[in-house]
Amino acid sequence: MKYEILGETLPVLVCTLDNGESMINEGGSMSWMSPNMHMETTSNGGVGKALGRMFAGERLFQNIYTAQGGQGMIAFASSFPGSIKPFEIAPGREVIFQKSAFLAGEATVQLSVHFNKRLGAGLFGGEGFILQKVSGSGIAFAEFDGHVVEYDLQPGQQILVDTGHLAAMDATCAMDIQTVKGAKNVLFGGEGLFLTNITGPGRVWLQTMPLSNVAGALRRYMPTGNG
């Protein structure tokens, strides 16, 4: 499988598959494809895994696209202004995505639900208890909001992230929450009560324009009441 990511503000992933190669995606992200791409809708692992993906922000069923009779082409477009990033997945190199980030991947990668084990992070970390875990082997693609900044954290090294800006992290990283200190900072700082604390080792991907922040900014201009 070969791929290229085209565009900047609204990117699209264009993949070229050899005969017999397959890709998976969550329904709705396919944009265009060559006529020899065969689609099959499947639970891809049974009811249990399908329900897990649903809780992680995806659909019950996945689509598997396979090139038949020769080389095929398929494209997956982003659903929001932002970035599409590739991830090399392998045993011991799993990645945790924010909810609904998975766009597409080689058929050899698996998407499952990831429960945050820390109660505080689940309740207040901005992403909730449920995230997406990508495992298996191959290339997976995720779409993030805005531009993406990457940091490599050493063992024990930490970074504090405002709610919603965490896009992805290596599964070796740990996630918890930290309370903003000082009553005046909490009441008047405008940054909320909690920050997400990511501890290495591993790589962290941060997004500059979380959809939740965009929705909050637009809400101020929405009409209220019945008038």
Q: pLDDT at position 74, please?
A: 98
Of the two residues 9 and 54, the one the predictor is more confident about is 9
Q: pLDDT at position 9, please?
A: 84
Q: Model confidence over 66-85: pLDDT tens digits?
A: 999 999 999 999 888 899 99
Is the model's pLDDT at 5 over the cut of 90? yes
Q: Model confidence over 120-145: pLDDT tens digits?
A: 444 444 444 578 899 999 999 999 99
* % of the chain residues with pLDDT over 70: 71
Q: pLDDT at position 163, please?
A: 74
What strands, in cross-sheet order, belong to the sheet with 2-6?
A: 2-6, 12-17, 72-77, 30-33
Q: pLDDT at position 119, please?
A: 46
CATH superfamily of 2-216: Mitochondrial biogenesis AIM24 (3.60.160.10)
Rounded average pLDDT over 204-222: 73
Q: pLDDT at position 186, please?
A: 41
Q: Picking from 10-24, 71-85, 101-115, 144-158, which range would have the lowest pLDDT averaged per residue?
A: 101-115
Domain ranges of the chain: 2-216
Helix (H) or strand (E) holding 37: strand 37-42
Distance of CA 35 to the CA centre of its chain: 29
Of the two residues 215 and 11, the one the predictor is more confident about is 11
d(Cα 127, Cα 75) in Å, to the nearest integer?
A: 28
Contact, 65 vs 38, CB < 8 A? Answer: yes
Q: How would residue 47 be classed by pLDDT, with cut points 50, 70 and 90?
A: very low
Mean pLDDT over all residues of the chain? Answer: 81
Global model pTM greater than 0.85: no
Q: pLDDT at position 209, please?
A: 87
Q: pLDDT at position 190, please?
A: 45
Q: Tokens 């992680």 appear where?
A: 56
The rounded radius of gyration (Å) of the Cα atoms in the chain is 19
Q: Model confidence over 20-40: pLDDT tens digits?
A: 999 999 767 899 999 999 999
